[in-house]
């Protein structure tokens, strides 16, 4: 029987750490709890937070942030003796700071996601391989807010596990309810940088239609995430990721 856990993992130094377990699949199964976690920035984790994650079984961290972000806010798991740390930068234009400074007047978050999907298949393939090749234990992937780059990876992994679009969209929107302090802080920083409140709100929104647009694009353009990659070697990675999650 599949045990049930809290989806939102409450920590002192991170706001948006969540479990991808508990979603029903097209095959009639349920995604596995405490197998894959999604997260926001981990630089603020306390020693108690880190120990809690280790006690849960954390073994692999995949950091999706840019090198500049890492230099500004290093991950506590880089060089950690008990955790395999992977740095795989994923489309830095989805970093909040980059999104704040580009095309703010006509900013379209859904279009930015579609652009990322088209331009980042190589990086997404590296993330897929890192999850597939990870040692037994929990895999956690993160960016800075745990919403955009992390949202794309979560959509890919859940799709490969056979989770439908509606549940993937529901998972995406959870950031809006569980990470309110983080989103409020990012909004204040955006406005302080001169961004209009309306634009900042669009940037930080977690509307289901945004991720649904990305999923439809991948279906229409690539036939879904199952045929998204053009490298035949990813077939085994996809199979092992689905096995890890289900």
Q: Is the pLDDT of residue 160 over 50?
A: yes
Query: Per-residue pLDDT tens for 110-128?
Result: 998 999 999 999 999 999 9
Query: Per-residue pLDDT tens for 166-187?
Result: 999 999 999 998 988 888 887 7
DSSP line for the chain:
------SB---SS-S--EE--S-B-TTS-BPPTTSEEEES--TT--HHHHHHHHHHTEEEEEE-S-HHHHHHS--TTTT-TTSEEEE----GGGSHHHHHHSSGGG--HHHHHHHHHHH-HHHHHHHHHHHHHPPSSEEEEE-SSSSSHHHHHHHHHHHHTT--HHHHHHHHHTHHHH-HHHHHHHHHHHHHTT--HHHHHHHH---HHHHHHHHHHHHHHHSSGGG----TTHHHHHHHHHHHH-
**pLDDT number for residue 96:** 58
Averaged pLDDT, 83-95: 85
**pLDDT number for residue 48:** 98
Going from the N-terminus, what domains does the chain have, and what CATH number goes with each?
18-93+109-241 (3.90.190.10)
Query: Per-residue pLDDT tens for 204-220?
Result: 888 999 999 999 999 99
Averaged pLDDT, 142-152: 95
**pLDDT number for residue 194:** 74
The pTM (predicted TM-score) of the whole model is: 0.92
**pLDDT number for residue 1:** 42
Query: Per-residue pLDDT tens for 23-68?
Result: 999 999 999 999 999 999 999 999 999 999 999 999 999 999 999 9
**pLDDT number for residue 155:** 98
């Amino acid at each position: 029987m599949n045990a049930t856990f809290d989806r939102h993992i409450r920590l002192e130094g991170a706001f948006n750490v969540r479990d991808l377990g508990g979603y029903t699949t097209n095959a009639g199964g349920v995604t596995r709890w405490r197998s894959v976690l999604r997260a926001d920035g981990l630089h603020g984790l306390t020693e108690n937070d880190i120990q809690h994650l280790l006690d849960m079984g954390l073994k692999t961290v995949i950091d999706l942030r840019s090198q500049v972000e890492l230099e500004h806010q290093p991950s506590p798991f880089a060089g950690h003796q008990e955790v395999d740390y992977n740095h795989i930068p994923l489309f830095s234009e989805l970093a909040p700071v980059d999104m704040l400074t580009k095309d703010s007047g006509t900013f379209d978050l859904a279009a930015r996601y579609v652009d990322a999907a088209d331009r980042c298949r190589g990086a997404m393939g590296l993330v897929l391989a890192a999850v597939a090749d990870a040692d037994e234990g929990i895999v956690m992937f993160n960016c800075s807010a745990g919403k955009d780059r992390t949202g794309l990876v979560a959509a890919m992994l859940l799709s490969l596990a056979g989770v439908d679009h509606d549940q993937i969209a529901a998972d995406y929107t959870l950031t809006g309810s569980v990470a309110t302090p983080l989103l409020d802080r990012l909004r204040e920083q955006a406005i302080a940088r001169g961004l209009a409140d309306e634009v900042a709100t669009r940037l930080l929104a977690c509307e289901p239609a945004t991720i649904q647009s990305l999923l439809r694009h991948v279906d229409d353009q690539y036939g879904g995430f199952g045929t998204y990659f053009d490298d035949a070697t990813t077939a085994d990675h996809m199979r092992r990721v689905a096995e890890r999650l289900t």
